[in-house]
Amino acid sequence: MNILDKFRLNGKKALVTGGSRGLGKVAALGLAQAGADVAIIATQLQHAEAAAREIAQQTGVETLAIEADVSDPVAVEKMIDQIIGRWGTLDIAFNNAGIATCANAEDIPLADWKRVMDVNATGVFLTTQAEAKVMLKQKKGSIINMASMSAHIANLPQHAAHYAASKAAVLQLSKAMAAEWADRNVRVNVISPGYHKTEMAAMFADIMKEWIPRIPMGRIAEAEELAGTVVFLASDASSYMTGSEIVSDGGYLLW
């Protein structure tokens, strides 16, 4: 087999949470370009529909648009039911949905702590669990969870202890699930990106200049630079990888 064939996803069915914009939308497009049909999950249906329509027009794959709040177990169950009802299977899941707020640790409102943990950590737990129930029956599947380099560092100059905690939880949760499911051919891996040019990063436009000197590569990443990593982890090119973390941070964690 040509090694490039291992990166192809023809006939595979994928979902991307937080798939209507930013890194999620870029990843969904990458999966579609590799041949997968893709379900776009977002909290607002019109945004999911717009992204799904755009990706289908560009790639010719089949797309679904689904509204779901990943922190709501009922919504997550309905999301999976819609996908299985349409395609009968689920091969790939990229659990990317997340939110961020900033505050000094002594000032973080409990409501902000709970919401960030609900979406970033509980949301990944609920979606990964629901996806795995399908994949374990099939005895195959690849789950990719979005963490962050913030799982390893304290961000500066912005302060976001609750965000860092949520992403560290994603990393360890994913490793534990990967260990449990490895012998049943369901893989769970993690991507931990650094700073990328996305709508979320735009919230911090006034301090971006302070990030760049801390990045050995000397720049903020383009959103598109993450897509290849997602396709790799989704594909048979990474068939012996589970419980692994790929850090894509321009070398930020080296210092």
**Where in the sequence numbering do the catalytic residues fall?**
148, 163, 167
Query: And the tokens for 86?
Result: 């349409």
Cβ neighbourhood burial of 109 (10 Å; 0-12, 13-18, 19+): exposed
Phi-psi domain of 18 (left: phi exceeds 0; alpha: psi -120 through 50; beta: other): left
Helix (H/G/I), strand (E/B), else coil: 126: helix
Phi-psi domain of 60 (left: phi exceeds 0; alpha: psi -120 through 50; beta: other): left
* Tokens 């709970």 -> residue: 114
Q: What's the rounded Cα separation, in Å, for the pair 210 and 58?
A: 36
